Every structure is written in C-alpha cells, then in structure tokens.
C-alpha cells in the first residue's frame, strides 16, 4: 500500500515535523496512515488525544462509557463546562474536530469488556490504555497480546504515575520473549487496597504530563525513532519531581507466554 499523500494544508500544519531529523515526511505519512485506539477519554486520554490529533494521527478510536461531570474538568482538559452531561466520546470528538479536521475520529460509547475487547483492538494498529482500574488494564493487555498489537499503558495515583510499552508477542534479539503486563504485575492488588481518586484525589497537571508522555511514546512507536519503553517502566513522583526507570523482563510463569521450566 502506498503512503498517504499530505495536502498543501497538512504540509504547512506539520511543517515542524517535516523538518525534524528522524521523523520528516516519511514519519508524518506513517502518522497519517495510523489507526490508534485510546481507552478512556479522561485525565490521561485528554492530553493524549490532543497531542495525537495535533500530530496528525489519521484515525483515532475513543472508548469510554462515561459522561462529562463538573469534577472531571480539573484535569480532563479535552472537555469544557458546556460539555457537562455529554458522553465523553462525543465531547472528545468535537474537540478533536476543532483542533485538526484532518483526523478521523471513531467513537465507541461503551465499556470495554471480554466480549468486545479483542475485535475492537484488532481494528487498530496500536493501543493506548489510560483506564483507571486494574480489571480493564489486564483485559486490554491480554487482548493486545492475542491480537498482536503494541500497547502503551499508563496509570496515575494522587502524586505518582507510571508508563511502559508492551510488545509481548515479539522476542528480543536473543530469543527471549518480551515481557507481558502480567510479568510486571502478576496479580491484581487486593480489593480496596488501591483507593479511587474520588477518595484520595489526583493532581490535575500530573495527568497532563503522563498523558503527553503517552502521546510521545505512541508517536515513537508509529514513526520508529528512538528506543521504545519495552521492558522499561518509567515512574514519576510529582512531590519530588523525580523520574526513575526500572527494567523488567519476561517471567516464564506468566499465563500468556510462559513456559514450564
């Protein structure tokens, strides 16, 4: 399939990308051809969708079953006061259309579950998970493994956050499989051990930082520049403004790609 051509308006819009060493015209064409599925149009999904749309990702799928509430607006910057009560996917689609009319938006006003996850994920090239619960994270990561789709996964707490990329259906140069999400987090935390942000709060700007980092990682995955975060977990502590990177590997006991010793 030939690379999609950029219109004169797109050439001007993406001029700073087109002169960027390591991205350039071929990279911008790959962005235009890409189909990205974003799980959640909330705190992480808002900046993520804004930067992916601004970057010229050709098709953005948005999955969210929630409506905009007034308490969302402290961090979910894709939505406005006038959007309160509207489905987040519709509010997000309108915001993206205002930002970049060259981007196609596919809305999925539903909760992702075991019956719809795999066919939905299979329809896209890459997935970004900004969901707020472990059940969804395990479901999305397992589905991406089976459908062989790269996954950029992030999570935020009150003042802390994490980010990684998963390609567990591939192997390293030495033949060892890449790690799965279950290699990193083998078991769900006990029920009630991780309180929701409605109980503990969340720093609004923190979601903006991590959502933007997710967008950067998605762009890197699509265009191929730099070293991705496969096998690396970025941790951020907003109290100390400290970043750390932890390396993690394949666990032969994981239920997806594990093998008995």
List residues with catalytic annotation: 197
- Among candidates 185, 154, 188, which has minimal Cα distance to 43? 154
- Among candidates 123, 128, 90, which has minimal Cα distance to 107? 90
Structure tokens at 46: 């808002």
**Distance in angstroms (rounded) separating the CA atoms of residues 261 and 256:** 15
Consecutive H or E run containing 62: strand 59-63
- Within 8 A by CB and 6+ apart from 259, the residues are 252
Residue 200 CA, distance from chain mean position: 23
* 3-class DSSP assignment, residue 177: strand
**In residues, how long is the chain?**
261
Contact indicator for 165, 152 with CB cutoff of 8 Å:
yes
Structure tokens at 133: 């619960």
């Amino acid at each position: 399939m030939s690379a999609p051509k950029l219109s004169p308006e797109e050439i001007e819009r993406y001029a700073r990308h087109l002169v960027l060493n390591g991205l350039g015209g071929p990279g911008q064409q790959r962005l235009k051809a890409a189909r990205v599925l974003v799980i959640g149009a909330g705190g992480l999904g808002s900046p993520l969708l804004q930067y992916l749309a601004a970057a010229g990702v050709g098709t953005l799928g948005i999955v969210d079953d929630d409506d905009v509430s007034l308490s969302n607006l402290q961090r979910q910057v894709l939505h406005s006061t006038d959007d309160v009560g509207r489905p987040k996917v519709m509010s997000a689609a309108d915001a993206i259309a205002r930002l970049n009319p060259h981007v196609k938006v596919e809305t999925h006003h539903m909760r992702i579950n075991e019956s719809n996850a795999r066919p939905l994920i299979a329809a896209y090239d890459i997935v970004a998970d900004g969901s707020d619960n472990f059940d969804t994270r395990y479901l999305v990561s397992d589905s991406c493994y089976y459908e062989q789709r790269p996954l950029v996964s992030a999570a935020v707490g009150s003042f802390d956050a994490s980010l990684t990329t998963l390609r567990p259906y591939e192997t390293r140069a030495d033949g060892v499989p890449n790690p799965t999400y279950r290699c990193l987090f083998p078991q769900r935390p006990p029920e009630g051990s991780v309180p929701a942000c409605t109980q503990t709060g969340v720093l609004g700007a923190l979601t903006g930082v991590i959502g933007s980092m997710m967008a950067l990682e998605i762009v890197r995955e699509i265009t191929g520049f730099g070293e991705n975060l496969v096998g690396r977990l970025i941790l951020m502590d907003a109290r100390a403004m400290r970043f750390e990177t932890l390396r993690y590997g394949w666990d032969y006991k994981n239920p997806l790609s594990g093998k008995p010793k």
